[in-house]
Amino acid sequence: MRTLHAERRLAAPAAAIALLCLAACGGGGSGDTSGDASGDVRLTMIGWNIAAAEETIAAFEEEHPGVTVEFRPYAYNDYLQALRPALTGNEGPDVFQVQPGGMLTNYEPLAADLRPHLEESLGEQWRDAYYEAGLEQLAYDDKQAALPGIMSAAGLVYYDQAVLDEAGVEVPTTFDEWETACAAVVATGRQCLAHGAKDAWVNIDVFLSVINSDAPGIVYDAIAGDVAWDAPEFVTAATEFASLFQNGIIAEGAASRAEYPDAFNEFVAGNAAFIALGTWNTAGTMTSEGLALSAEGISGEPSGPFYAAPFPAPQSGNDPTALFGGPDNGWAVSAQSAHPDEAYDLVEFLTHGGGQDVQASLANFPANTEVAISTADVVVPEQVQNIEEQQAGLADLVGARQIPYPDLEAALGHALSSIIADPGSIEGALAEVEQVSAGLDR
């Protein structure tokens, strides 16, 4: 693994931190990019989430004389509305950004297969260059529809060491330990786990953390339709999920709060000991520049230092969940690109070449297994090992974070909201999820 010591790029972390929530939660192409009289090639790239875009594109253009790139950024919701018309029109982009899960399923038919280019450019062992989950979650059958830009994973709780020290408690590894620690934290006048239950995605992350500790991998069997969502293991996990709202771990009123900015700001300000997030939160809490940007949402100085630990195991004797996740996003070549070779060169640069060095320098987790995330800007030296352990965990994920069926994901989110409001509804709520699952065309 090559280690990056480049200086952090001014203004780029601001883009990364502004996109924290997105990480959790017009055309231009074959007509516009045909080149000019000099023979130069012009490519158009569209997306919603790339930190240091200008710097990355400048580095690519320097490495590829005669090729220029126009990046057209979108807000995430606008991107969802614009993508299909752009890809099916006459002026579509050459390169476009995708997420694993439902977005990939919907847009894979409009993407070129990258395997032939990968084999020619990187050789027969091209898969070794990427985290396996990054490739699997951006493939469709035998087609490599996209390549991962950066990796991310959930299954963590971030904690404020200063708050734990004041309460006189250690980082818990089980729910029983967590409940005891929370009583001490609450006695200091703070929340224990800051949680924005208004957002379905964070409830799903917490539920996956619970069930991946109880019965690792069974949820992916259910997603595939091989196990019922109202099976006993899911009833148990849902009961444990509900207990977080009843035993003092999550404070009252969570259902009316969003994870960003409400819960996140409470955590950064030192008003809560924990928050359940994923590796996308590392740059904003463990780097000096990222933490300063996160602190813009609070009054006063940020608390900390902050660290991450595995989400505690609900049942004593079980291991906490392993990380679950994959590519935060990926890059695809439009099947209609007039310049597929140059477009592939851009995707390779973003996902394997110099673009990975840029992302690593910003404390984003690279998709290239040979690039180490930079720890040059940590707030305290003790965070270096913590960040390196997060990157190591990306090679051994228990499964995906994204559910590839939008209707199933929505049903699970609705069920968890119902369970929070009425823990007595668990069996009925899960039965409704199973009904949606049984009706899917997989």
Same domain, yes or no: 222 and 89? no
Residue 30, domain member (yes or no): no
Same domain, yes or no: 249 and 268? yes
Same domain, yes or no: 133 and 272? no
Same domain, yes or no: 345 and 369? yes
Q: What is the pLDDT of residue 442?
A: 87
Same domain, yes or no: 175 and 138? no
Enclosing domain of residue 317: 156-322+405-438
Number of Cβ atoms within 10 Å of the Cβ of 420? 20
Residue 191, domain member (yes or no): yes
Q: What is the pLDDT of residue 27?
A: 35
Same domain, yes or no: 191 and 297? yes
Residue 10, domain member (yes or no): no
What are 324's strand-pairing partners?
Answer: 154
Instruction: Specify the number of domains making up the chain.
Output: 2
Same domain, yes or no: 71 and 192? no
Distances (CA, A) of 188 to 164, 166, 181, 185, 291: 10, 8, 11, 5, 24
Number of Cβ atoms within 10 Å of the Cβ of 349? 22
Same domain, yes or no: 96 and 233? no
CATH of the domain at 75: 3.40.190.10
Q: What is the pLDDT of residue 102?
A: 86
Is residue 33 within 8 A of residue 44, CB to CB? The reply is: yes
Same domain, yes or no: 342 and 290? no
Q: What is the pLDDT of residue 20?
A: 53
User: Which residue is associated with the tokens 């995708």?
Assistant: 98
Same domain, yes or no: 243 and 303? yes
Q: What is the pLDDT of residue 23?
A: 58
Same domain, yes or no: 422 and 289? yes
Same domain, yes or no: 178 and 288? yes
What is the mean pLDDT of each successive set of 10 residues along the chain, which is 442 residues long?
Answer: 38 42 48 54 95 95 97 94 93 95 92 96 94 96 96 98 98 98 98 98 98 98 98 98 97 95 98 97 96 96 98 97 96 97 98 96 95 97 98 96 93 98 96 98 89
